Amino acid sequence: MSLYSQRGVSAQKEEVHKAVEKLDQGLYPQAFCKIYPDFLTGDAEWVNLMHADGAGTKSILAYLYWKETGDISVWKGIAQDAVVMNLDDLLCVGIHDQLLFSSTIDRNKKLIPGEVLEVIINGTQALFDELKTYGVNIHYLGGETADVGDVVRSIAVNGTMTSRWPKNKLVTNEKIQAGDVIVGFASSGKATYETAYNSGIGSNGLTSARHDALHKTYGARFPESYDNSLDEHVVYIGPHLLSDPVPDFPTSGLPDNLTIGNLLLSPTRTYAPLMKVLLQEHFEAIHGLIHCSGGGQTKCMKYLPGNFRIIKDNLFKAPVIFDILQQASKSDNREMYQVFNMGHRLEVFTNEKDAQKLIDAGKALGIEAQIVGRVEAAEKKELVLKVGGEEILY
């Protein structure tokens, strides 16, 4: 059993999928988000969507960092994580404007004061103000903030995003076909709309990242930061403190003075400014969209419209944060690539002739992009990853 499973989490969320398998799959079962008819007005040419997600256990990392450093601004990044995990999923069905957002924050009031709530709520609005300058309008409708110390140990930061959208501007993944190539857009680096280097960690796999990277002393100092029923051999088993400088990797190219905490807490990059351009200027070239969130590089398998073999044989070099985590956890590549994004979080399925236009759009915003793979006809759905000299079959 993997360390991930022993900590009570699952990259593939098999039990969750089983629990919802009998629910209505919506109008387009292969679409990245569930899409319903426009119940609000009854207009057959429009659809309704609603999506719920959040920052997950990354909020625990923020808690540790805040307690250790006193830097309350770290919570602004958690606000962004909660928004982006909703927004970027909806981007993957074509929605890039006029969205509504409602936040849900559950806290243990004894540990999380009102000042933290203010940073999260104001940070959410600040992100919306910035995205508006790129033509992505998100309206903040408030939400629920509850003091539920009996339920949460520290804080859970989540949200719900909804939209009404025209059918003829949806991306439903039904156009994915043999012969398509897959353009990947990097999760790390520094986009033109980011203020600092982004490690690419995103908001998935943070339970493993936290326990694999951080030193055992965190469990002793902050027992509220983990499930105390876990076996101690999987709790905070790493070599690092959040304040430790990043180990020297010869080809990292990282800015100076970064710490382990900086890398683990990099706010999840939103691709909204990029997707606004792609969906408005290159809509017909987009056959499918995948957000490589939970499930990492295996995420695409769930949304294929038929039996295809996906071959990813030109992946990005994994950003340094993933080298650090793999070194600490001793996890093999199979587990790393199905838990973490490992270098790109957005995939666009397209014609080979159109790929360069999409790549250029990414680079114009400071986002590295390249063809990472291709689609082939097959008798069953399968995924082949080529990492270094290793071939991994899912």
Closest CA to 326 of 316, 314, 337: 337
* 51 pLDDT higher than 90: yes
Name, in order, each residue with C-beta under 8 angstroms of 297's C-beta and a sequence gap of 6 or more: 312, 315, 337, 338, 341, 342, 383, 385
Give domain status of residue 156, yes or no: yes
Kindly tell me the burial class for residue 176, based on how many C-beta atoms sit within 10 Å of its own C-beta (0-12, 13-18, 19 or more): buried
Give domain status of residue 236, yes or no: no
In the chain, the DSSP E strands lie at 36-37, 46-54, 99-107, 138-147, 155-166, 181-186, 286-291, 308-312, 344-350, 369-377, 382-387, 390-393
Q: Averaged over 365-386, what is the pLDDT?
A: 98
Locate tokens 């949806």: which residue? 170
Task: Work out the number of other CB atoms within 10 angstroms of the CB of residue 336.
Answer: 22
Find out whether 136 and 280 touch, Cβ atoms under 8 Å.
no
Provide the pLDDT confidence category of residue 254 given band limits of 50, 70 and 90: confident
Give domain status of residue 94, yes or no: yes
Give Rg (Cα) of the chain. Answer: 20
Task: Work out the number of other CB atoms within 10 angstroms of the CB of residue 178.
Answer: 13
Domain that holds residue 319: 3-195+265-393
Provide the pLDDT confidence category of residue 255 given band limits of 50, 70 and 90: confident
Chain-centroid distance, C-alpha 134: 20
- Looking at residue 7, its pLDDT comes to 62
Q: How far is CA 97 from CA 136, 278, 367, in A?
A: 5, 13, 21
Give domain status of residue 249, yes or no: no
Provide the pLDDT confidence category of residue 11 given band limits of 50, 70 and 90: low
Angle, helices 355-364/272-281, rounded to nearest 10 degrees: 140
- Looking at residue 256, its pLDDT comes to 83
Give domain status of residue 50, yes or no: yes
Q: What is the rounded distance in angstroms from the CA atom of residue 19 to the CA atom of residue 389?
A: 38
Q: Averaged over 308-316, what is the pLDDT?
A: 98
pLDDT in tens, 58-92: 999 999 999 999 999 999 999 999 999 999 999 99
Give domain status of residue 251, yes or no: no
- Can you read off the two tokens belonging to residue 381? 């759905």
Q: What percent of the chain has pLDDT over 70?
A: 94
- Looking at residue 4, its pLDDT comes to 56
Q: What percent of the chain has pLDDT over 90?
A: 90
CA angle 52, 53, 56 (to 5 degrees): 155
pLDDT in tens, 219-231: 999 999 999 999 9
- Looking at residue 248, its pLDDT comes to 77
Give domain status of residue 158, yes or no: yes
Q: What are phi and psi of 231, to 5 degrees?
A: -65, 135
- Looking at residue 19, its pLDDT comes to 67
The number of distinct structural domains making up the chain is 1
- Which residue type does 61 have? L
CATH number, domain containing residue 191: 3.30.1330.10
Which of the residue ranges 106-110, 192-196, 252-256 would you say has the lowest mean pLDDT? 252-256
Which of the residue ranges 189-193, 327-331, 380-384 would you say has the lowest mean pLDDT? 327-331
Q: Averaged over 259-271, what is the pLDDT?
A: 97
- Which residue type does 78 have? I
Q: What is the rounded distance in angstroms from the CA atom of residue 285 to the CA atom of residue 325?
A: 36
| Average pLDDT of every residue of the chain | 94
Locate tokens 């590295």: which residue? 368
Q: Averaged over 318-322, what is the pLDDT?
A: 96
- Looking at residue 27, its pLDDT comes to 96
* 21 pLDDT higher than 90: no
Q: Under DSSP, is residue 190 helix (H, G, I), strand (E, B) or coil?
A: coil
Give domain status of residue 219, yes or no: no
Find out whether 303 and 30 touch, Cβ atoms under 8 Å.
yes
* 358 pLDDT higher than 70: yes
